[in-house]
Structure 1
């Protein structure tokens, strides 16, 4: 297809506008993080008159950011690992086998994506409270409670996406592995999963990003000891002052793990999303 001058101009204009839309807020965040608090609270200036790295040092003492960072890392990593492991087995069963209730199961999994997460907040909280009262299992205010909560909305998407990705892998590969004497599990791990690596990576990144930046459930299901970063950032705002420069600095710091993971796995992530969308 011939690329006309008009198409090139249109593409350049659109990409320029998108770049401005992304880079301008990022520039404001970075410059605000490197200003003294009085400069941030005063009239906005595009070029800082005073540049300091003190906010990046103060963020660790103003609130226990390191503790919140560790909580988020543990919760997000555990939720991601469990989502990927469970989704692999569930998606493989849905893709390769025909069983009673298969259509109902897949429809139920997909329908969960139609409802906003806030609808599940009160039911989950009541379930956790009742479990504590009847069985003595403490989930509210614990990391495990938050991990289970995140599984409720990351796992359905992971199953749906991986099932579509497994459907695109020829069944001849499974049959060839079976002929060589491999069982279903060996065929899954030695043949199907290597071919489905982009889809698995995409699911892992999605699950991690969802858990890392979630605020609503974390604000209800956690306490002072296991508070996550998304909730902990609110503590830079007190009744008497708002440390805007530290908020910006902390936001940049907590974004690093997600940005680094995305950049390292970008190819697999894009390939996985593309394949999942096609299916």
Structure 2
């Protein structure tokens, strides 16, 4: 199909408009983070007369941001590691072994993505409460409760993604390794996992972003000691004041780990997503 000049112009205008929808909010956030508080409450200025880094200094003392950052890091890293390890084992078993219920298991894993997460909020809260009453393990307001919650939602998608990736790999790789003396576990660790690294990285990034930016369950299942960043950012809005400049500065700082991580693994992430999706 030959593109006409008018079509090219229309496409360029459309892309420019869509780009502005992304760039303008980012620009407002960055500019606001460098403004004094008195300049934020008035009419918005696209280029402020005064720029200061004080919001980036004050944001650590206005709310316990370092504590929230630590909580998010603990919950996110542990949930990501557990999800990836369990997904590797489950996906490898599903893609390599034939057993009764294999197809049903895949359908159940895929069907979990059909339901919105808010449907599970009350059942999870009641289950955690009952667990505490029965065996004395506190899940509501604890790291363990948040980790199990995030694991519940990231694990099915991780299994589905890695199942497609492992199924695309020839089984002859493990068979040749086992002929040379490796066990099934040795072939998985030394052959399959290195080859599947792009897919594993893609799944890891998905799990990390899902847990790092989650708001709904963290707002109900956490307390003041386990509050994560996504909930802690709301503390900049008090009953009397809203520290918009510090909130924007904190939002930028919170986004940096995900942004830096994405830039580091960008190439492997894209190849892993495409490989899993094609299969």
State the TM-score bracket (shorter-chain normalisation). over 0.9
User: Counterparts of 1:270 and 1:11 in 2: how far apart (Å)?
Assistant: 25
Q: Mapping of 1:65-214 within 5 angstroms? A: 65-214=65-214
C-alpha deviation, 1:16, in angstroms: 3.0
In structure 1, the residue matched to 2:40 is: 40
Residue 245 of structure 2 corresponds to residue 248 of structure 1: no
User: Counterparts of 1:35 and 1:29 in 2: how far apart (Å)?
Assistant: 10
User: Counterparts of 2:201 and 2:7 in 1: how far apart (Å)?
Assistant: 34
User: Counterparts of 2:10 and 2:181 in 1: how far apart (Å)?
Assistant: 56
List per-residue Cα deviations over 1:18-58 (Å, max 9, x = no partner). 43222111111000111111211100111011111111111
C-alpha deviation, 1:164, in angstroms: 0.5
Unaligned runs of 5+ in 1: none
List per-residue Cα deviations over 1:74-124 (Å, max 9, x = no partner). 100000000000000000000000111111111111100000001111111
User: Counterparts of 1:51 and 1:97 in 2: how far apart (Å)?
Assistant: 62
User: Counterparts of 2:21 and 2:179 in 1: how far apart (Å)?
Assistant: 55
In structure 2, the residue matched to 1:237 is: 237
- Residues 51, 111 of structure 1: CA spacing in aligned structure 2 closer, same or farther, 3 A cutoff? same
Unaligned runs of 5+ in 2: none
User: Counterparts of 2:170 and 2:278 in 1: how far apart (Å)?
Assistant: 15
User: Counterparts of 1:190 and 1:6 in 2: how far apart (Å)?
Assistant: 55
In structure 2, the residue matched to 1:29 is: 29
In structure 1, the residue matched to 2:61 is: 61
In structure 2, the residue matched to 1:260 is: 260
Aligned residues: CA RMSD: 1.6
TM (norm. structure 1) is 0.96
TM (norm. structure 2) is 0.96
- Residues 167, 2 of structure 1: CA spacing in aligned structure 2 closer, same or farther, 3 A cutoff? farther
User: Counterparts of 2:176 and 2:114 in 1: how far apart (Å)?
Assistant: 39
